């Protein structure tokens, strides 16, 4: 079987030569992005705008570089992400856009509109069948993401406290899930009410189609009827007070399987292209309101039509790199009781696990793990 092609360039530049955004443009053109017919097409560029307080997310300059190439090819680009399932600065479209603006992503700086994929409250999603899905039959994906004719992922490759690393598959699968979709991936159970935050407004009950939420006349708070609740997560988007929460009670392996299947739902049936930058490799997700020191050096930019091969290439580059002194990874490795897993991501966060995601992605036909690395000088 033919190997997937992954294109790579480092972050080195020549004095008075091209800057990194221009180098990224050259890389994705070399990787064949111009093979996609974008003429008059809506093109979704999926990236993470960063949580407020976190500054390790990709700079808007890289997003503009990709948007500029799309426009050169006749496409109509927009940047997008979907709302989060947890309390923070991106749980509804208004806060999400304000967060994006504060972090430097505006139509002026990136050269295209910014749309939140699952709407105002994170409830504007569409059920997308998962071909060959074992854990998810229909993925709940943000409607604007699925309305796009062409899909491009622009990923900040970094560590993650659960899935080992956050790469293209996580950016797409988890990132494009609506609030209910993210809930489905993270939790196989039912929500609970945080009583001290509940205002008793009953808006969540109006969103529930299964009678899973009831109002307690004594406490004047909502409660969950676990016999009726189906765990769909729709109530999350209805609550403006962060009074509804899910426990992350799925095994990490099952989370990884679902994430891969959500990615397949997003990509099947339309042109797609993927870019990952291994830079500012923080140990945790950009969803954190802070970012710790990078655990690995800035390694380079990668691009491919195959998101699985792209993740594998980024992983391989990271595992071959030397840990950064003074980082969480280096500190762990210096401990007297250190157990070497021969895996930088697991050595950084021992409870994390990433291999099951890539194995399942290959099993369901998302891509290939074998790749040919083509270096752009």
Positions of CATH 3.30.70.20 in the chain: 192-245
Classify strands 76-81 and 114-116 as parallel, antiparallel or unpaired: parallel
Fold of 4-188+251-375: Rossmann fold (3.40.50)
pLDDT at 240: 82
pLDDT at 368: 98
Whether residue 326 has pLDDT greater than 80: yes
Pairwise CA distance, residues 122 & 128, whole Å:
16
Average pLDDT, the chain: 94
Question: What whole-number percentage of the chain has pLDDT above 70?
Answer: 98
CA 83 to each of CA 78, 127, 369: distance values in angstroms, whole numbers, following the listed order: 16, 16, 30
* pLDDT per residue as tens digits for the range 177-204: 999 999 899 876 678 999 999 999 999 9
Residue 235 pLDDT grade (very low, low, confident, very high; cuts 50, 70, 90): confident
The mean pLDDT value for 88-93 works out to 90
pLDDT at 363: 98
* pLDDT per residue as tens digits for the range 45-77: 999 999 999 999 999 999 999 999 999 999 999
pLDDT at 234: 73
Residue 233 pLDDT grade (very low, low, confident, very high; cuts 50, 70, 90): confident
Whether residue 369 has pLDDT greater than 90: yes
Pairwise CA distance, residues 274 & 279, whole Å:
16
Contact (CB, 8 A) for 110 and 64: yes
The mean pLDDT value for 257-266 works out to 98
The mean pLDDT value for 237-243 works out to 83
CA 345 to each of CA 73, 316, 319: distance values in angstroms, whole numbers, following the listed order: 38, 11, 8
Whether residue 247 has pLDDT greater than 80: no
Fold of 192-245: Alpha-Beta Plaits (3.30.70)
Positions of CATH 3.40.50.11440 in the chain: 4-188+251-375
pLDDT at 336: 96
Question: What whole-number percentage of the chain has pLDDT above 90?
Answer: 84
Question: Could you tell me how many helices (H) and strands (E) the chain has, helices first?
Answer: 14, 15
Please state the pTM of the whole predicted model: 0.90
Backbone angles phi, psi at 207, to 5 degrees: -85, -15
Contact (CB, 8 A) for 47 and 142: no
Contact (CB, 8 A) for 83 and 96: yes
CB within 8 A of 112, min separation 6: which ones? 45, 67, 70, 71, 76, 77, 78, 79
pLDDT at 248: 63
Which range among 172-176, 227-231, 316-320 shows the weakest confidence by mean pLDDT?
Answer: 227-231
The mean pLDDT value for 24-31 works out to 98
Pairwise CA distance, residues 312 & 346, whole Å:
16
| Closest by CA position to 319, among listed 336, 340, 290, 291 | 340
The mean pLDDT value for 224-247 works out to 82
Buried b (16+ CB within 10 A) or exposed e, 226-256: eeebebbbbbbbbbeeebbbbebebebebbb
Classify strands 76-81 and 244-245 as parallel, antiparallel or unpaired: unpaired
Residue 155 pLDDT grade (very low, low, confident, very high; cuts 50, 70, 90): very high
pLDDT at 228: 87
Cα dihedral 194, 98, 156, 5, rounded to 10, equals 110
Pairwise CA distance, residues 19 & 37, whole Å:
27
Which range among 1-5, 10-14, 137-141, 259-263 shows the weakest confidence by mean pLDDT?
Answer: 1-5
Q: Bigger pLDDT: 255 or 66?
A: 66
Residue 249 pLDDT grade (very low, low, confident, very high; cuts 50, 70, 90): low
What are the tokens at 21?
A: 């955004």
Note the residue count of the chain. 377
| Closest by CA position to 99, among listed 126, 76, 79 | 79
Backbone angles phi, psi at 72, to 5 degrees: -60, -35
């Amino acid at each position: 079987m033919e190997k997937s092609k992954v294109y790579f360039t480092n972050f080195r530049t020549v004095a008075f030569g091209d800057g990194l955004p221009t180098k990224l443009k050259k890389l994705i053109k070399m990787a064949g992005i111009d093979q996609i017919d974008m003429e008059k097409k809506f093109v979704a560029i999926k990236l993470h705008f960063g949580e407020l307080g976190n500054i390790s997310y990709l700079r808007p300059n890289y997003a503009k570089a990709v948007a500029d190439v799309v426009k050169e090819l006749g496409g109509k680009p927009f940047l997008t992400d979907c709302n989060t399932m947890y309390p923070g600065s991106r749980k509804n479209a208004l806060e999400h856009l304000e967060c994006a603006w504060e972090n430097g992503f505006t139509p002026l700086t990136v050269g295209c509109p910014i749309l939140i994929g699952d709407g105002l409250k994170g409830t504007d999603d569409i059920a997308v069948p998962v071909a060959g899905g074992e854990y998810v039959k229909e993925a709940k994906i943000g409607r604007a993401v699925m309305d796009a004719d062409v899909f491009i992922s622009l990923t900040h490759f970094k560590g993650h406290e659960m899935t080992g690393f956050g790469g293209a598959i996580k950016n797409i699968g988890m990132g494009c899930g609506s609030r209910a979709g993210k809930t489905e991936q993270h939790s196989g159970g039912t929500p609970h009410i945080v009583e001290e935050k509940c205002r008793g407004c009953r808006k969540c009950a109006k969103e529930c189609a299964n009678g899973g939420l009831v109002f307690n006349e004594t406490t004047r708070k909502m409660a969950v009827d676990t016999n009726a609740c189906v765990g769909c997560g729709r109530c999350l988007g209805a609550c403006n007070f962060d009074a509804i929460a899910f426990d992350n009670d799925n095994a990490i392996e099952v989370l990884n399987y679902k994430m891969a299947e959500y990615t397949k739902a997003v990509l099947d049936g339309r042109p797609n292209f993927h870019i990952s930058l291994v830079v500012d490799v923080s140990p945790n997700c950009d969803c954190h309101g802070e970012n710790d020191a990078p655990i690995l050096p800035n390694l380079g930019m990668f691009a491919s039509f195959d998101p699985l091969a792209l993740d594998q290439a980024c992983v391989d580059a990271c595992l071959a790199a030397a840990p950064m002194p003074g980082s969480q990874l280096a500190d762990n490795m210096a401990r007297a009781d250190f157990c070497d897993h021969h895996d930088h991501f697991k050595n950084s966060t021992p409870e994390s696990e990433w291999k099951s995601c890539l194995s399942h992605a290959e099993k369901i036909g998302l891509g290939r793990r074998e790749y040919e690395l083509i270096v752009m000088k």
